[in-house]
Structure 1
Amino acid sequence: MAAENPTEVKARTTPRQMALALFEDMFDLGTSISEANREIGYQRNNFFTEIVNMGLAARRFLDAAYFIVAQEPEAVDQYDVELNYFKWLMRYDSRNLKHLRTIADEAQNAKIRVTNTPSDREPAADDIWVQVQLIGMVAMHRGRIRFDVHHSLIPHIRDPRKSHWLSLRISTAFTRSLARAIYDKVLPSVPAGRTDWIKLDEMRTWPGKMGANASIFKYFKRDWLEPAVREINEISDIELSYETRTESTSSKKVDRIRFLLKRKDTADAVMASLSDASQIYKILKDEFNLSTRQFTEISDNRDTWNDDRILQAIEYTRFKLNRGQVKKSPSGYLMKALRDNWRMSEAERTMVQVQTKLLTYETEKAAAKAAVQTSVERSVASRDDETRARMNEESRQGKEHFAASDAKAKREHIRAWLASREGKLVLKRMKLEASSITEDIILTTPDLAWYLGQFVFGRLKAEVAQ
């Protein structure tokens, strides 16, 4: 079956399956993830860039764990994968399990913290302060690794809103902790072209432990900052430069830095650029399930296939889908719409608007009719309830009067009721003979008692009217 329909099988390939396939192809050859010829990554929530005081290896450990969490079809209590696969995702080539455990320990000690307390004052009782461990339990046994992540973080990993594309192929290529830390921090700011001003003392906390000379700017620049910037520009998908400024116009102490950012003109950068437009990326990935090959084609043509052209192709494909004119693969139709620059004409757009208005009008008309019908039914039901309540009250008063009457009056009420048209109809419906009806039978039969009470109330009402 799979051989007969290879296109359908490819369309169902998930990022998780693709990563596993790459691992199987490359691991036996001793090839690391940073040398992969296909992109591996996920949409990472912007707030995970707030992680500080973490070394390079621990960052890779966390990236691998979160990639696995992001690719699972459903959230689970624990994640269990082959240890070699996990090590390949984090580009850990050593067989030193003791060192790997140390890295896991560092990752477990890292936390994400959210607070609204300003840095220039002490915390107050009404301030918000939340701190969550970035990864929980980690277990390694017989070639497998198991781990869990706090349940409050799972939605932010699996379905991020404000996010950016993190390429594991690029992120695992870094050899300098500060380079990786800067890269993480600036990714959400790439579309804007620059970051805000950042305090140097704050930036010095990003990569974890640094030497004593790092507190002196000229040494920090020479030994850490410049090498980190060079590595980012050499191996990543962005070009980065920076500006600095002093504490004040009268001071010579450099205390702030701002990064200037630009995407490179490469297929990897184009892929990441597309992923920055998270809404478009999610539509192409989730709604149309584009394959890696199709994403690569979009990347290769991104200079002409801009966001507007992609959105036009999406709109056109949806229009044809709704009209039942796409018979095979929606993703293939979308790619053809992109290649041939198909778009909806103004006449088609007007037609859709008119049809939408007509449908809206008919829907509103049907809703209004249903509302009127419901109102009428409620009104009738309300009147029925009022009538039933009134008749029950009348019967109650009639039964009370009957109970208070003497024996002669009771016999007269019963005789008159049994002889009346109403009494005869009740007896006929209940298949009873008038000759067999006694006072005891009436009082112990709720329906007979109710109708007798109605009859007695009617006689009382007639007497009052006279």
Structure 2
Amino acid sequence: MAAENPVEIKARTTPRQMALALFEDMFDLGTSINEANREIGYQRNNFFTEIVNMGLAARRFLDAAYFIVAQEPEVPDQYDVELNYFKWLMRYDSRNLKHLRTIADEAQNAKVRVTNTPSDREPAEDDIWVQVQLIGMVAMHRGRIRFDVHHSLIPHIRDPRKSHWLSLRISTAFTRSLARAIYDKVLPSVPAGRTDWIKLDEMRTWPGKMGANASIFKYFKRDWLEPAVREINEISDVELSYETRTESTSSKKVDRIRFLLTRKDTADAVMASLSDASQIYKILKDEFNLSTRQFTEISENRETWNDDRILQAIEYTRFKLNRGQIKKSPAGYLMKALRDNWRMSDAERTMVQVQTKLLVEEEQKEAVKVAVKTSVERSVASRDDETRARMNDESRQGREHFGASDTKARQEFVRAWLASREGKLVLKRMKLEASSITEDIILSTPDLSWYLGQFVFGRIKSQVVP
């Protein structure tokens, strides 16, 4: 299946190099990053979506800084880049450096906070509380910008676990603070198709300062929420709608909102569909444990390595694994299947379908046998339980009749039972002699009492059973 000609080896362009190349091509033309014809972004940790009370420009400032941190091969003490490049990454078109300093100041005031103290009680000494600035020192001088990020945040930016793809092309296109804030918050929930219920008062803190009318839902909906939803649907890679609910069934005050989400079928979404926690990404990450280098290679070839081609390679690799034909690295085999466009033939697929059908039929036959056997066993057990319950009841009735009888009748019952075949078998099993058995011994011995009750019931059965 592999081509006989040697594979052409070409140098891979890193996301950092690609972003710099795009900047050089577009900056002189006055073209903004949101108009780029190639994807620019990074895997952002989900907990950075918890940032609140931050305006649109400050969010862009952090996005640009964290993109640079995520792409640097090493971890320097300070990050130093051309100011025009940084401004292009955050789509800051103005030459107003005073305003840019104000934006940097707002970004420096933003913090990420981690605590295990519940919101309904005061903090205790044993509680965890950690607060870190999202960006530290910022310096601008002679056309360059330098900044640093707290060392505890670097691993979360460079190698996030629970994360989602943040496209700078999309994030810089927003013009409304609430639209950008909502977009940030919902990104981790796109694979699930909806968010949890969110308190409206909490959502009102996301974009920073809002007007006084924002506390009234009808004005909040008209002036902030609806315009934000329209902008998200127009410029982003997700389609978004929402549901609301009241405090209680007896209240008319709307206090909660939930967003419903679907990924659009666009070039940006194709990139995101691999980068977020979608099904294909989970298969590649969890089942095949692809490395960062392998994911980068897939991302760089998404124009030709579309979802169908990736799924074909996954199907082919699984097929070979099940047949025991992969001896070393399933991940490496999958990447080779992608590069050489290996896929299962129709004949192989038919063979698998036939084998699967035969296996399913065999399993169904076995399941029927087990079900029949189980049903019989349950039926027998049920009948045994019914018989045992009936005999216990008969013995009880016999003992009650025995106890209500006079002395002469009781003596006759005891004599007759000891002389009966059933009585002799019981005494033999219990290794007892009939001459030593008295009424008191029978009544104080549960087994003897039970069998005497059975015997008495047999004698009086015609009297108690219609």
The answer, yes or no, to whether TM exceeds 0.5 is: yes
Pick which of 73-82 and 397-406 moved more: 397-406
Q: Does the CA-based 8 Å contact 2:163-2:277 persist in structure 1?
A: no
* Structure-2 residue corresponding to 1:416: 416
Distance change >3 Å, CA 28–CA 463, structure 1 → 2: farther
Pick which of 273-282 and 39-48 moved more: 273-282
Unaligned 5+ segments in structure 1 are none
Q: Does the CA-based 8 Å contact 1:42-1:167 persist in structure 2?
A: yes
Unaligned 5+ segments in structure 2 are none
Q: Secondary structure at the match of 2:194?
A: coil
CA RMSD of aligned residues (A): 14.4
Q: Does the CA-based 8 Å contact 2:107-2:135 persist in structure 1?
A: yes
* Structure-1 residue corresponding to 2:336: 336
Aligned pair count?
Answer: 466
Q: Does the CA-based 8 Å contact 2:191-2:277 persist in structure 1?
A: no
Distance change >3 Å, CA 251–CA 412, structure 1 → 2: closer
Deviation at 1:122, TM superposition (A): 1.4
* Structure-1 residue corresponding to 2:40: 40
* Structure-1 residue corresponding to 2:216: 216
Deviation at 1:76, TM superposition (A): 1.6
Deviation at 1:18, TM superposition (A): 0.4
Q: 1:53-74 deviations in whole A, cap 9, x for unaligned?
A: 0000000000000000000112
| Counterpart Cα distance in 2 of 1:4 and 1:413 | 101
Distance change >3 Å, CA 375–CA 188, structure 1 → 2: closer
Pick which of 259-268 and 312-321 moved more: 312-321
| Counterpart Cα distance in 2 of 1:408 and 1:105 | 109
Pick which of 395-404 and 270-279 moved more: 395-404
Q: 1:102-153 deviations in whole A, cap 9, x for unaligned?
A: 0000000000011111112211222111110000000000000000000000
Q: 1:158-214 deviations in whole A, cap 9, x for unaligned?
A: 000000000000000000000000000000000000000000000000000000000
Distance change >3 Å, CA 6–CA 53, structure 1 → 2: farther
Pick which of 406-415 and 353-362 moved more: 406-415
Deviation at 1:315, TM superposition (A): 8.4
Distance change >3 Å, CA 152–CA 377, structure 1 → 2: farther
Distance change >3 Å, CA 464–CA 228, structure 1 → 2: closer
| Counterpart Cα distance in 2 of 1:190 and 1:234 | 17
Pick which of 356-365 and 333-342 moved more: 356-365
Q: 1:201-259 deviations in whole A, cap 9, x for unaligned?
A: 00000000000000000000000000000000000000000000000111100000000
Distance change >3 Å, CA 431–CA 215, structure 1 → 2: closer
Deviation at 1:337, TM superposition (A): 3.3
Q: Does the CA-based 8 Å contact 1:2-1:9 persist in structure 2?
A: no
| Counterpart Cα distance in 1 of 2:341 and 2:365 | 39
Q: Secondary structure at the match of 1:337?
A: helix
Q: Does the CA-based 8 Å contact 2:316-2:342 persist in structure 1?
A: yes
Distance change >3 Å, CA 228–CA 370, structure 1 → 2: closer
Deviation at 1:431, TM superposition (A): 94
Pick which of 289-298 and 144-153 moved more: 289-298
Deviation at 1:35, TM superposition (A): 0.1
Distance change >3 Å, CA 159–CA 394, structure 1 → 2: farther
| Counterpart Cα distance in 2 of 1:207 and 1:69 | 24
Q: Does the CA-based 8 Å contact 2:273-2:281 persist in structure 1?
A: no
Pick which of 432-441 and 225-234 moved more: 432-441
Pick which of 124-133 and 303-312 moved more: 303-312
Deviation at 1:97, TM superposition (A): 0.4
| Counterpart Cα distance in 2 of 1:31 and 1:326 | 49
Pick which of 143-152 and 324-333 moved more: 324-333
Deviation at 1:369, TM superposition (A): 47
Distance change >3 Å, CA 338–CA 410, structure 1 → 2: same
| Counterpart Cα distance in 2 of 1:390 and 1:254 | 63
Distance change >3 Å, CA 162–CA 216, structure 1 → 2: same
Overall identity of the aligned pairs, in %:
92
Deviation at 1:395, TM superposition (A): 89
Q: Which runs of 4+ in 1 moved over 4 A?
A: 1-10, 278-309, 314-336, 338-341, 343-466
Distance change >3 Å, CA 81–CA 123, structure 1 → 2: same
Q: Does the CA-based 8 Å contact 1:267-1:296 persist in structure 2?
A: no
| Counterpart Cα distance in 2 of 1:346 and 1:148 | 56
Q: Does the CA-based 8 Å contact 1:267-1:300 persist in structure 2?
A: no
| Counterpart Cα distance in 2 of 1:414 and 1:199 | 81
Q: Does the CA-based 8 Å contact 2:3-2:340 persist in structure 1?
A: no
| Counterpart Cα distance in 1 of 2:432 and 2:137 | 80
Q: Does the CA-based 8 Å contact 1:417-1:455 persist in structure 2?
A: yes
Distance change >3 Å, CA 396–CA 313, structure 1 → 2: same
Pick which of 89-98 and 421-430 moved more: 421-430
| Counterpart Cα distance in 2 of 1:169 and 1:302 | 17
Distance change >3 Å, CA 220–CA 458, structure 1 → 2: closer
| Counterpart Cα distance in 2 of 1:284 and 1:248 | 44
